[in-house]
Amino acid sequence: MHTIVCIKQIIDPEIPADQFKLDASTKRQVRGGLSLVISAYDQNALEVALQLREKVGGKVTALCLGESGAMGAIKTALGMAVDEGVLVSDPPLLESDPFGVVHILAKAIQKIGVPDLVLTGCVSGDTGDKVMGPLIAEELGLPCVTFVSKVEVKDGKALVRRIVEDGYELVEAAFPLVVSIISDDSNVPRYSKLKDIMVAAKKQVPTWKTADLGLDGERVGAGAARLQMRDVSIPERDSKCEILDGETPEERAERLALRLRELKVI
Amino acid sequence: MTDVLIVAGGQGNPPSQNTLELLGAARRLADATQGRVKAAVLESAPTPLTAGLFGYGADQVFRAEHPLLNGYQGDVYVAALSQIAAQAAPQVILLADDSCGKEVAPRLAHRLNAGLVTEVLAVEGDGPAVLFRRQMYGGRTIATLAAQRFPVVATVKPRTMTPASELAGRTGEEIAVALTLEASLVRTKVVQKVAEEVRGVKLENARVVVSGGRGLKGPEPFKQLEELAQILRGAVGASRAATDAGWVPASWQVGQTGKTVSPDLYIAVGISGATQHLAGMTGSKTIVAINTDPDAPIFKVAHLGIVGDYKAILPKLLEKCRDLTQG
Ligand SMILES: Cc1cc2nc3c(=O)[nH]c(=O)nc-3n(C[C@H](O)[C@H](O)[C@H](O)COP(=O)(O)OP(=O)(O)OC[C@H]3O[C@@H](n4cnc5c(N)ncnc54)[C@H](O)[C@@H]3O)c2cc1C
Ligand SMILES: Nc1ncnc2c1ncn2[C@@H]1O[C@H](COP(=O)(O)O)[C@@H](O)[C@H]1O
């Protein structure tokens, strides 16, 4: 079983509000001194891939399109004991919209060799489109299942747990398959072992550029974007919270109930 | 002239809440540009849905009936909607941002070589362009995106658009679509469905939501939240920290990755108020926060707050709410 996990490197999405800044001209977040991380659900996807390897064998490859510094994300994945990494990094490519990104990722997946399983996060922590999994499936002509927390292999087929509005579904599909991963208690990302981090540091990771992938120039870069970003702003939060006091917690609880009654919400 | 095609869900009349919200958004956009509202209905047998769609603002219904359209299956839905879109030729295609819409929209956009925008909060015409608003950076920002090419496929975030209201006696044109669908299209199969939200009201429709987070430190205290929800005839939600810990099912999650709720009352217990959580609940009318940390960001969006330990507060709150609602 070969699994390719698509990982995106992003600025830590859980920083406090006062550290979040936008660049007025690029309309993107300002990096500043903030730390970079592998987008949250991609870490869960790595965990799913590693658990699968433990069960059925095979190998796991981490694939990232990003700045040259995204080599750090690949190294982090290798530190979790992923077998191989591939970085695609070429500045003009980073301006691509999701249809450009999917073209690049699909070309890279084909160059690696289409695996049994392609995993993505269900949503990236910055742009947050929730589209890349299904787009990769279309681009490669593969079936897909989204918002999956668990992947098992049964009788040579995938049996996955898909989270839906009112619970979950078990969905069966043949390989090769694209799955987007959501978190639950079964795929909490593991900590790296020191030994694996040391191996990762020495591991050779190829960096591919436009020419290595035979990309269609019409599909990538800022010029190909199908939507234009007109504006981005940080909404104001007018905090007018009425803090209920009282001598004891019980008094405060009682006041809360009475206020809710006054407001006719209970 | 912007013709809008909505993908209708459910089967009933009146249509489902998600469908009414799509119709509301579509009608406003079409009216502003003298366009038409078209609705795609996918079903395996006739249902009252078509009549309901006319009553709530559709000008045309593209009805596709096929045995394979018996419940959602991604491959079949994408194929069917591609064919309907070819016939209806809309500029904008709106789907609900639910578990089906999220899976179908990107695939449909890819096949139609269309634009794509997800989790739309507002849509409006701007001359020949169509503008979409959505959150980015986990709810920290609001972006305005202009469609550069048509058609454009968009998913609409539930509980953010004003639903369509009924116009009595309104009718429209029903168009039967002859689909070419083969059983061999089907590549994924649901072998088991497990419903987890059994008690009381559905989270996304509840008028009162009581949510718990990491501050509860385990699954046990959720029993008290369930009790409070029951007294207030509401539902229980959770932060990602609580669902990731396995304290409650993943389908209870509220926020960017979970559900969007906009109840009359939202009570956040032991939830810090990360933007990704706020992304799913700031539409609530009255927000209450119970948290030990007076600087927790949840107090920036709450209307009423108690700084304190939930352990000391919940029992009394339960008791008092019970008294008030039964009295
Ligand atoms: C891409 C992405 C998507 C995400 N999507 C979601 C999402 O959909 N929904 C979501 O919720 N999160 C989401 N998150 C996670 C989010 O960023 C936060 O990590 C999460 O919401 C934190 O959950 P919490 O508030 O329960 O925990 P914490 O942030 O740890 O807060 C716990 C709070 O409990 C308080 N507390 C502790 N003890 C007590 C006590 N005894 N009584 C009262 N209060 C107490 C603390 O003061 C603290 O404020 C997402 C993150 C990413 C990166
Ligand atoms: N630049 C990228 N490199 C690798 N994977 C990516 C990239 N962008 C998106 N993805 C994958 O697609 C998922 C969903 O992203 P999105 O559609 O942007 O929400 C992410 O969680 C990643 O797994």
B229 and B177 fall within a common domain: no
B106 and B155 fall within a common domain: yes
Of A25, A26, A5, whose CA–CA distance to A95 is shortest?
A26
B132 and B216 fall within a common domain: no
Domain boundary pick from B121, B154, B185:
B185
Q: What ipTM does the predicted assembly reach? A: 0.97
pLDDT digits (tens, 9 = 90+) for A123-180: 999 999 999 999 999 999 999 999 999 999 999 999 999 999 999 999 999 999 999 9
Per-residue model confidence (pLDDT) at position B327? 64
**Using a 6 Å cutoff on CB, does residue B258 contact ligand 1?**
yes
Domain hosting residue B169, numbered range: 4-185
Is B115 close to A227, i.e. CB distance below 8 A?
yes
Look at chain B and report how many structural domains it folds into: 2
Q: Is the residue at B190 inside a domain? A: no
Measured CA to CA, the distance from residue B139 to residue A130 in angstroms comes to 14
Structure tokens at A255: 């006041």
Residue to mutate, A120, A129, A147, A213, ligand 2, most ligand atoms under 8 Å from C-beta: A120
pLDDT digits (tens, 9 = 90+) for A96-107: 999 999 999 999
Contact B16/A at CB under 8 A: no
Cβ-based neighbour number of residue B94 at 10 Å = 28
* DSSP code of residue A15: S
Per-residue model confidence (pLDDT) at position A237? 80
Ligand 2 center to residue A103 CA distance, Å? 12
Q: Is the residue at B102 inside a domain? A: yes
Q: Which residues of chain B have pLDDT under 50?
A: none
Q: Is the residue at B52 inside a domain? A: yes
Statement: the pTM of the whole predicted model exceeds 0.90: yes
Q: Is the residue at B196 inside a domain? A: no
Give exposure, A147-171, as e/b (b: 16+ Cβ within 10 Å): bbbbbeeeeeebbbbbbbbbbbbbb
Phi, psi of B140 (to 5 degrees): -75, -25
pLDDT digits (tens, 9 = 90+) for A52-93: 999 999 999 999 999 999 999 999 999 999 999 999 999 999
- Which pLDDT band, with edges at 50, 70 and 90, does A190 fall under? very high
Question: Whose Cα sits closest to atom 10 in ligand 2?
Answer: A8
Which 3 state secondary structure label does DSSP give B110? Answer: helix
Per-residue model confidence (pLDDT) at position B196? 82
B159 and B306 fall within a common domain: no
Taking contacts as CB-CB distances below 8 angstroms, the residues of chain A near B257 are 41, 122-123, 182-183
Structure tokens at A149: 């927390």
B178 and B210 fall within a common domain: no
Q: Domain spans of chain A?
A: 2-224
Share of residues in chain A with pLDDT > 90 (%): 97
Q: Is the residue at B195 inside a domain? A: no
B212 and B281 fall within a common domain: yes
pLDDT digits (tens, 9 = 90+) for A191-248: 999 999 999 999 999 999 999 999 999 999 999 999 999 999 999 887 789 999 999 9
Is A17 close to B294, i.e. CB distance below 8 A?
no
B138 and B218 fall within a common domain: no
Task: Tell me which of 3.40.50.300, 3.40.50.620, 1.10.3720.10, 3.20.20.100 is the CATH number of domain A2-224.
Answer: 3.40.50.620
Task: Give the number of the atom of ligand 1 that is nearest the alpha carbon of residue B296.
Answer: 49
Structure tokens at A1: 């079983």
Question: Whose Cα sits closest to atom 28 in ligand 1?
Answer: B272
- Distant-in-sequence, close-in-space partners of B285: CB < 8 Å, separation ≥ 6: A265, B262, B263, B264, B265
pLDDT, mean of residues A5-28: 96
Q: What's the CATH number where B127 sits?
A: 3.40.50.620
User: Which ligand gives the minimal distance to the CA of A13?
Assistant: 1
Per-residue model confidence (pLDDT) at position B131? 98
Ligand 1 center to residue B250 CA distance, Å? 14
Taking contacts as CB-CB distances below 8 angstroms, the residues of chain B near A30 are none
Kind of pairing between the strands at B286-291 and B265-269: parallel
Per-residue model confidence (pLDDT) at position B197? 62
Per-residue model confidence (pLDDT) at position B273? 97
Give exposure, B128-147, as e/b (b: 16+ Cβ within 10 Å): eebbbbbbbbbbbbbbbbbb
- A117 pLDDT more than 90: yes
Place of tokens 């996060």: A121
